[in-house]
Structure 1
Amino acid sequence: MTEIRPLPTYLVQRFHGWRATTYQDNRAWYRRLAQSGQHPRAMVISCCDSRVHVTSIFGADEGEFFIHRNVANLVPPYNPDGEYHGTSAAVEYAVTSLGVAHIVVLGHSNCGGVKGCHDMCRGHAPELEEKSSFVGRWMDILRPGFQAVAHLPEDEILQALEKQAVLTSLANLLTFPFVKTAVDDDRLTLHGLWTDTGEGGLQQYDPARDGFVEV
């Protein structure tokens, strides 16, 4: 594959800096992690957005979180059709192989994927309506969520839809039989969060209030 190129110099320099400092200072810890395997307590499903830094938000170390990232932190409904399902595979592995105790769905402010869904549902993104659009077909998962917030004032819809993405994913998680069984057996708990990336805020879904409240 002649199109493949070496890493940019700045990334190589950053790697060597990490190896000489963070790794060198914690070499025994990294080796223990490598040899003993991973035993994360939680799976976090978050957005691909580069501004969402899951481990920084929670001060997590290596080995603590099993992290899966995709556009708009969405989980599709359970659908064992034999096709490719990266998110579903990650959920299956986390629950049935790693035995995580928690699954956290983390949404965020100013989500580009959610904005794409909004524009598509408003008829302002014909390119996402194309059958060949991977993003558009992925955001179809969130279309019912748009209907739930479309009645709101225009300046409130996007943030409400970002939170609907979290709720949609939580509802879809419960369509996976192994997730539902683990929840019913009290071996697994589900959590819905939304973070304001600019203000550093964090909200969690409270089913008693049927809404998001500050953590």
Structure 2
Amino acid sequence: MTIARPLPDYLVKRYHGWKATAYSENSAWFRKLADEGQHPRAMVISCCDSRVHVTAIFGADPGEFFLHRNIANLVPPYAPDGNQHGTSAAIEYAVTALKVPHLIVIGHSSCGGVKGCYDMCEGKAPALDEKTSFVGRWMDLLRPGHARLPEGTEAERVAALEKEGVLVSLENLMTFPFVKEAVESGKLTLHGLWTDIGAGGLESYDPERGAFVPL
């Protein structure tokens, strides 16, 4: 292997800082996690966006969340077709092996993946329509959400599509037999959230109102 290179100095320094402070002060907890395995309280599916810091939003400690991140926090429908499905595998493990009691999908403002999907569906992003575009084919999952968008300005419709992405993912989660069984038996609850990065706001989908409401 000749392509790997040493870490940048700033990351090495940050590691040593963490080891000397956060780890040193909680070393017994880390050893307990290592010895006893993980028992997360929830699975969280969030976007890869570097600005979305889920553990910070909820003040979570190591071991609390089983985290999965992908472009635009999307969940594909159940499709055991032999292809490699990282998101589906993570969901299967969380629900059937770890038996998490909560599964949270969290979208966010200014999502580049969602904007790309919007532009693609509006015929403004031909590169994403190419069969060779991994991002474009992934964002095809959100096309049903685009079809449900209300009239409005582009900014309003893109913002609405960010929340539609959460709803599409929740709908797709229920196509997984083991998720559906866990939900219907009361062993698992699904939650849809959306966060405003700039304002620090957090909204939760309320099925009775059919809308996201501030927490």
What TM-score range do you get, normalising by the shorter chain? over 0.9
Moved over 3 A (4+): none
1:145 matches 2:145:
yes
Alignment of 1:178-197 (within 5 A): 178-197=178-197
Residues 104-143 of structure 1 aligned to structure 2 (within 5 Å): 104-143=104-143
Following the alignment from structure 2 to structure 1, what is the Cα–Cα distance between the partners of residues 174 and 131? 28
Name the residue aligned to 1:3. 3
> Matched residues in 2 for 1:68 and 1:174: separation?
18
TM-score, normalising length from structure 2?
0.99
Output aligned runs, 1:75-114, within 5 Å: 75-114=75-114
Greater Cα shift, 40-49 or 145-154? 145-154
Q: What is the CA distance between 1:13 and its match in structure 2?
A: 0.5
Q: How far apart in 2 are the matches of 1:162 and 1:4?
A: 36
Please state how far the C-alpha of 1:155 moved relative to its aligned partner: 2.6
Q: How many residues align?
A: 215
Which position in structure 1 is the counterpart of 2:36?
36
Letter in structure 2 aligned against 1:185? S
For residue 133 of structure 1, report the CA deviation from its aligned partner: 0.4
Unaligned runs of 5+ residues in structure 2 are none
Deviations 1:61-107 (A, max 9, x none): 00000000000000000000011000000000000000000000000
TM-score by length of 1: 0.99
**For residues 155 and 169 of structure 1, what CA distance do their matches in structure 2 show?**
22
SS, match of residue 193 in structure 2: strand
In 1, the alpha carbon distance for the partners of 2:201 and 2:33 equals: 31
* Secondary structure of 1:202 counterpart: strand
